[in-house]
Structure 1
Amino acid sequence: MDDLSTGLLFGTLALLIALSAFFSGSETALMSLNRYRLRHLKEKGHKGAEKASLLLSRPDRLIGLILLGNNFVNILASSISTLLAIRLGGNTAIAISTGLLTLVILIFAEVTPKTLAALHPERVAFPAAHIYKPLLRLLYPLVWIVNWMGNNLLRLLGVDYAHRSRDALSQEELRIVLNEAGALIPELHQRMLISILDLEKAQIEDIMVPRNEVTLIDLKDPLDEIIEQIQEVHYSLVPLVDGGIDEVVGMLPLRGAARLLANGGLHKESLREIAQTPYYIPEGTPLNQQLLNFQRFKRRTGLVVDEYGDLLGLVTLVDLLEEIVGEFTTDPLDSLPNVHPQEDGSFLVEGSASVRDLKRKMDWPLPTDGPKTLNGLILEYMETIPEPGTSLRLAGLPIEIMQTSGHTVKMVRIRTDLKNSETESKKGSN
């Protein structure tokens, strides 16, 4: 090197620093690539993504290649810097050149390229993959020796270098990805995907129509009342019973009953003949499992029963789909017949109202991990049967007991306007 001109040495030093920046930045870029986006681009035929994916399939070889090149250029740059220091300032300038080279490498070959690579990994990684692929073939013997020594050292330390963490995401991790997707996924689609993940957290009794609210046709009623019910009911399938909800004959298709009525052949025995075999659903069935069961058994309506076979309620495919896509009605109150808005802005709510429906459709912050009905939630909170006129605050909602009957709360008044006004006053005081 003594025969080389000073200008050539400075040029070589600048080239080595640039190569060091390339190795440092490309390493960060390749390791920062989104594995799922990389897989997507690879399937679309992106050449850079294909080569990057191939390199990342053996990260030990890739890291060995990068570190081999990076350390080689850094050591060579240090040697040239020392030679230049001796030429220009003698032995006393070696310390100064060491400090300056460290600062230059830190700024221009480490911090800057790595920051750029972390911000735009694909712009750096894909072009670098085209270089690393032939470079790996060229330096494969050296890379193999380095990897062999490193892997054996790991084995002595009890580390299985062949074991790699899986790319699969857990449900909670996938939920975080969806929440952070931002503008990449429309908000409506984002809510639907998260709702699908939440299906397994809810059970079938969380969305069923309770037995006391199930619309049914009783064969014990007079025929003219049955005909009137068939003409008024808007459902496609209702339970046909014989003396009460616990005596289910079958599921009556209203379309078939209407045809019998139009042809003049409607009588109680003909209703029995067209009734379909009931489909029963055990309580505690997760919603995600029941969605698959509806699809497998080609059913749209099921009767929920407990472990003793007693009927608890009714659930439809529409109820389940609403958990994913949201309400099909424009006004949430249209699907909450037990919530009655008042002129003063309050709501009269029946105690049998579902806590889950109130939370989802009215956006009230009620806990859903306990009792299923508002009555049960109030009784659990107060640990006694409240008297009419009793007021309480449940999950921040001012609730007034309006009517009780026996051991249940029949009607309460909820004032959301008081909750909002208190919130605003707290913000104003702050």
Structure 2
Amino acid sequence: MMDTFIANLSENWLTILIIFLLICMSAFFSGSETALTATSRARMHSLESAGDDRAGIVNSLIERRDRLIGALLIGNNLVNILASSLTTSLFLALLGDSGVAIATLLMTVLLVIFSEVMPKSWAISAPERFALVVAPLVRPFVAVVGPLSSVVNWIVRKLLGMFGVSISGEASMLSAHEELRGTVALLHREGAVVKADRDRLGGVLDLGELEVSDVMIHRTAMRAVNADDPPETVIRNILESPYTRMPVWRGTTDNIIGVVHAKDLIRALAEPEVEPRDVDIGKVAQKPWFVPDTTNLKDQLNAFLRRKSHFAVVVDEYGEVQGVVTLEDILEEIVGDISDEHDLEMQGVRQDSDGSIVVDGGVPIRDLNRALDWQLPDEEATTIAGLVIHESKSIPEERQAFTFYGKRFIVLRREKNRITKLRIRPIEQAEVSPPPVA
């Protein structure tokens, strides 16, 4: 009987060859789908720019990802169904009714191993290389089957729409910034990108989301000179200041009449027969530039570069001065001011021997997150003191403590209505040695 079965198989060698070719085509479609959907668009763009024509084909295919996937799925299902039908027909002729079960079991094993798992595993291990090889073969197939794929996609959207599910054929679920940020975060977790580089790139991506008010020097910490003070006093204050530019006010600090540059002042003092008492600070100062506090940092950076300026006075919607912002303030959002990613060298931040962090209330939340790799939210507050006030819904007293976001915040010092110093402990430390609560 076995001899008869083998003889019958040999007589149907053409059918067996066709089934084998169909399984190979199924593997091709499965591997192509995996490779072309997993390949890096940035890598393909780089290769295309270097003159690789195959990378250009890959880019043209993945520009219409829905059309590509639909065409490959149609091809894959077509050859799978045809291979299964031929196999079932063959085994029915050879074994009768029992051939259906045997054909089903055999094709399941063959398709799972050789048409799904093996080609997809191969493709995912080297998606760019695999995609470059198959792209020239996939393109003509997509050109032929693509219209049918578009019709199928349209039908699917209409059916899903009946159930209230809306699918856009073009829109990506993630923005380019989110995709880039997620990629960098993943590479950092895997050790391919160091923390400093991750923070710099994150700073660039955040520029469009942050406002000038988030990075400005607040009016309470702003250093300015009074134009009505004696010239000697004004000159001494400017030259003793660590800043090269200082706003000049008259009458009230909200009345900024100019911004004086230390170099301009030195140049004026260097004029022949000019004494400090003869210097008119109002004439030395440059015209002030006022910007709204709601301007995002990306626009403000472009404005600084366009005007070739480094300094602006920040005002609110009522025209009242809120602080000052410099080009350096924005650049620090990108490069940071931490010289070593393991050392706390931030101004206003000190790490005690018990592992707790003593922080000035005015330290920006973003700077603290960057220095310590924390994830404290900065949507509702800019400074660490503002975060405590926002979460506590009050202005805490000294020695009051609060727990949120996995940290224990203890108010160490308060001046009038301002929190000027806090101690922050990770929640594990706080459980070991809880602080006193007023």
Common topology (TM > 0.5): yes
- Across the aligned residues of Structure 1 and Structure 2, the Cα RMSD in angstroms comes to 4.4
Give the superposition deviation at 1:424. Answer: 6.7
Distance change (3 Å), C-alpha of 1:290 and 1:121: same
Q: Which residue is 1:127 aligned to?
A: 133
> Which one-letter code corresponds to 1:359 in the other structure?
L
Decide which of 93, 97, 113 is 1:107's aligned counterpart: 113
Whether the aligned pair in 2 keeps the contact of 1:82 and 1:98 (CA below 8 Å) is no
Give the superposition deviation at 1:11. Answer: 5.7
Decide which of 369, 390, 410 is 1:399's aligned counterpart: 410
Give the superposition deviation at 1:277. Answer: 0.1
Q: Which residue is 1:49 aligned to?
A: 55
Whether the aligned pair in 2 keeps the contact of 1:13 and 1:81 (CA below 8 Å) is no
Q: How far apart in 1 are the matches of 2:115 and 2:151?
A: 27
Q: Which residue is 1:289 aligned to?
A: 299
Give the superposition deviation at 1:318. Answer: 0.6
Q: Which residue is 1:318 aligned to?
A: 328
Give the superposition deviation at 1:298. Answer: 2.4
> Which one-letter code corresponds to 1:302 in the other structure?
A
Decide which of 165, 172, 184 is 2:170's aligned counterpart: 165
Q: How far apart in 1 are the matches of 2:279 and 2:57?
A: 73
Give the superposition deviation at 1:251. Answer: 0.7
Q: What SS does structure 1 have at the residue aligned with 2:313?
A: strand
Give the superposition deviation at 1:199. Answer: 2.7
Whether the aligned pair in 1 keeps the contact of 2:365 and 2:384 (CA below 8 Å) is no
Aligned residues: 411
Whether the aligned pair in 2 keeps the contact of 1:65 and 1:136 (CA below 8 Å) is yes
Q: What SS does structure 2 have at the residue aligned with 1:248?
A: strand
Distance change (3 Å), C-alpha of 1:119 and 1:250: same
Distance change (3 Å), C-alpha of 1:424 and 1:365: farther
Q: Deviations over 1:105-157 (max 9, x none)?
A: 332223322333234333333222333456678xx5xx589669858967996
> Which one-letter code corresponds to 1:258 in the other structure?
I
Q: How far apart in 2 are the matches of 1:69 and 1:375?
A: 60
Whether 1:207 and 2:218 are equivalent positions in the alignment is no
Q: How far apart in 2 are the matches of 1:148 and 1:315?
A: 52
Aligned residues: percent identity? Answer: 30
Distance change (3 Å), C-alpha of 1:344 and 1:244: farther
Q: How far apart in 2 are the matches of 1:24 and 1:390?
A: 64
Give the superposition deviation at 1:290. Answer: 1.8
Whether 1:116 and 2:127 are equivalent positions in the alignment is no
Give the superposition deviation at 1:273. Answer: 1.7
Distance change (3 Å), C-alpha of 1:209 and 1:53: closer
Q: 5+ residue gaps in structure 2?
A: 1-6, 162-167
Q: How far apart in 2 are the matches of 1:377 and 1:81?
A: 69
Distance change (3 Å), C-alpha of 1:157 and 1:175: same
> Which one-letter code corresponds to 1:27 in the other structure?
E
Give the superposition deviation at 1:326. Answer: 0.3
Q: What SS does structure 1 have at the residue aligned with 2:410?
A: strand
Q: Deviations over 1:21-61 (max 9, x none)?
A: 23332333334434443333333332332333445566658
Q: Which residue is 1:71 aligned to?
A: 78
Q: Deviations over 1:80-126 (max 9, x none)?
A: 67547755x56655643443233223322233223332343333332
Q: 5+ residue gaps in structure 1?
A: none
Distance change (3 Å), C-alpha of 1:206 and 1:199: same
Distance change (3 Å), C-alpha of 1:99 and 1:206: closer
> Which one-letter code corresponds to 1:209 in the other structure?
I
Q: How far apart in 2 are the matches of 1:158 and 1:402?
A: 59
Q: How far apart in 2 are the matches of 1:214 and 1:260?
A: 24
Decide which of 166, 174, 181 is 1:175's aligned counterpart: 181
Distance change (3 Å), C-alpha of 1:3 and 1:86: closer
Distance change (3 Å), C-alpha of 1:70 and 1:128: farther
> Which one-letter code corresponds to 1:397 in the other structure?
R
Q: Which residue is 2:314 aligned to?
A: 304
Q: Which residue is 1:253 aligned to?
A: 261
Q: What SS does structure 2 have at the residue aligned with 1:246?
A: strand
TM-score normalized by the length of structure 2: 0.73
Whether 1:216 and 2:230 are equivalent positions in the alignment is no
Q: What SS does structure 2 have at the residue aligned with 1:285?
A: coil
Q: Which residue is 2:164 aligned to?
A: none
Distance change (3 Å), C-alpha of 1:100 and 1:193: same
Whether the aligned pair in 1 keeps the contact of 2:231 and 2:281 (CA below 8 Å) is no
Based on CA coordinates, which of the two structures has the bigger radius of gyration?
1
Whether the aligned pair in 2 keeps the contact of 1:398 and 1:418 (CA below 8 Å) is no
Q: How far apart in 1 are the matches of 2:402 and 2:141?
A: 70
